[in-house]
Chains A and B, each alone.
Chain A
Amino acid sequence: MTVTPATQELRKESRLRSLADFYVTTMRTEIQTQFQYRAATYMYLLGMVAEPIIYLVVWSTIADSSGGEVNGLTAGDFAAYYIVWTLVRTMNIVFTPYGWEWRIRNGELSGQLLRPLHPIHYDVAQFAGGKIPWLFYYLPIAVILTLVFEPTFDVRPAEIAVFAIAIWGAYLIRTFNQTALGLVCFWTTRVGALFSLYIVLELLLSGRLVPLTLMPDWVQTLAWFLPFRWTFYFPIETLVGDLTNAELLAGLGMQLFWTLVGIAMFSLVWRFAIRRYTAVGN
């Protein structure tokens, strides 16, 4: 059968439509699952808030005891930073390497490999779907944190628009990085140590632990050339910082770059990794 360019175009279009259908259906299914366990989800979210509150209390105290600011950041700036931090953290939670370890060891991956769709689509769609109820759960937390810590915000519409894109960019970068890391399980079975190293680097170089402006210059320079900064600090900075339009666009460009690098890295590792799958556990 001859496949004309027109036929190829039609197939591509139909494939994209089907993929969109799959994403919408999976996201909808995940929202239903989250609603099924709304109490557990809310408790998880509340637990997660502990991390930024600790950072916030520590830095606010330091700011107050240092004459009202640290490196130019006031207690209100710290409050704004960590309130947005909480939203960014909620949105950039992804399927972790531990998930890969578990699904390879117990054979759950087999069911996914039998589907005519790469498992990564399921992970991306499932976690993206989970964000929607989480966003609703986040709102009251944000209100309480705002009332208690009185953040300083000065936001332009362009910044809000870029933030809305940047949180998904952060989500994709983390997804592909952590998936590539998770695929190491095909060789090592366990990936905990490697993942811990990743998290340490992320804590230091992403702005997760401390706003990057508080880090030494060389760390800030190094962070600019690594993916971590674009998964925390950049999305937060779009709302909290004072970036020009050019800087906002450059940030999105860097997110696109690191997403593509992540996809390339993950695709390359996948090609070799999947040959090692032994489908044990069932």
Chain B
Amino acid sequence: MTEAAVRVDGLLKVFDVPERDEGLKAATKSLVRRKTREVRAVDGISFEIAPGEIVGFLGPNGAGKTTTLKMLSGLLYVSGGEARVLGHVPSKRERDFLRRISLVMGNRNQLQWDLPALDSFELNRSIYQIPRPDFLALRDELIELLEVADLVRKPVRQLSLGERMKVEIVGSLLHRPQVLFLDEPTIGLDVTMQKRIREFIAQYRRRHGATVMLTSHYMADVEALCERVIVIHHGRILFDGDLAALAGTVAAWKTIAVVLENGAGDLSEYGEVIHRDGDLVTLRVAKSDTARVTARLLAEQEVLDLNVEDPPIEDVIELVFAREAVE
């Protein structure tokens, strides 16, 4: 049996967070007696990721996604439970482990700010002890894939956020990591750049068989790259499975987008009108009624175009969190 690339069992991370009320009085009081609150950032989660798999790790801000990635990449010690990545305990930060992983964070700079990225790449070659021919081959391949040949000769400080992100990604992959933790890799980038980076991640994974764990607030990233998602909230896993199944499991409705020959009239008798844009009307209907409503629309209206879709993934995720809050 193939060993999981990532195996997490009852993983727990507790932070002691100092807290006090506002004002001088509270500040003075805290000199004598400091109050702390225990925060369970990650609360006993378990999952496995197979080698070569790409998994989306979703959740709102503060859900525990980044903390989990930091534990899996060895930055944070765990408070309980167990984590293994490529058979290693991450917090031991063994050289063989660190040489085989990479953590890319969308808002962090790992390159030499004042020098062209090529110099930082050279530094990475010496840090990761990459044989020079392998280094040059992969460096040039990554530069070509991300189309950054004209950027890597400029001082990093003169690059835009999007340009820097692309160059950062090249730097993070030069040692050919087998496991890639991507934390918001497209944050703050424009749509074109997001798409380019998404395509690149998919290509890298295909070419090198890497295991990828990805967090992103852009559902387009997740939809384009991940078949499986893990949804986390308040440090606990709410869902772990196929992205397609998530909508089926959680949302009890579908959407029907319809364009009529004679323009959009009142379609409220068919379902809840949730969007109207010129002749295009989007209806929300109960999942069990979808076939019947579709048949009625086709029979009773002059339909130019009709699409039945699962609800947008953003809505589904929101629903998962809302349901958790009620429970």
A residues touching B (Cβ–Cβ < 8 Å)? 18, 21-22, 24-26, 29, 32-33, 36-37, 107, 110-111, 113-117, 274-275, 277-279, 282
Chain A's closest residue to B100 (CB) is: A116
Binds A, one of B25-33, B107-115, B226-234, B271-279: B107-115
Are A29 and B123 in contact, with the CB atoms below 8 A?
A: yes
| Residues B71-127 near A (CB distance < 8 A) | 73-77, 93, 95-99, 101-103, 105, 107-110, 112, 114-115, 119-120, 122-123, 125-127
The interface residues of chain B lying within 8 Å CB-to-CB of A111 are 108-110
Are A117 and B110 in contact, with the CB atoms below 8 A?
A: no
A282→B105 CA distance, assembly (Å): 8
Are A113 and B105 in contact, with the CB atoms below 8 A?
A: no
Question: Can you name 10 A-B pairs with beta carbons within 8 Å?
Answer: A22-B126, A22-B127, A33-B114, A110-B70, A110-B103, A113-B93, A114-B98, A116-B95, A116-B128, A279-B75
The interface residues of chain A lying within 8 Å CB-to-CB of B98 are 114-116
Question: A46 CB to closest chain B CB, in angstroms?
Answer: 21
A107→B76 CA distance, assembly (Å): 12
Number of interface residues of B (CB under 8 A): 34
Chain B's closest residue to A276 (CB) is: B77
**Given A33-B115, A36-B115, 5 further pairs, Cβ under 8 A:** A26-B126, A116-B95, A117-B127, A279-B70, A282-B105
Are B15 and A278 in contact, with the CB atoms below 8 A?
A: yes
A36→B120 CA distance, assembly (Å): 15
Once A29-B112, A29-B119, A33-B115 are accepted as A-B contacts, the answer to whether A275 and B126 lie under 8 Å apart by CB is no
Q: How many A-B residue pairs have CB under 8 A?
A: 72
A278→B125 CA distance, assembly (Å): 28
The interface residues of chain A lying within 8 Å CB-to-CB of B102 are 114
Q: Which of A25, A33, A37 contacts B122 (CB 8 A)?
A: A25
Most buried by A among B70, B95, B112, B119: B70
Question: A118 CB to closest chain B CB, in angstroms?
Answer: 9
Are B115 and A114 in contact, with the CB atoms below 8 A?
A: no
Question: B18 CB to closest chain A CB, in angstroms?
Answer: 10
The 10 closest A-B CB pairs, nearest first, are A116-B98, A25-B126, A116-B95, A22-B126, A111-B110, A18-B129, A279-B75, A282-B108, A36-B114, A21-B126
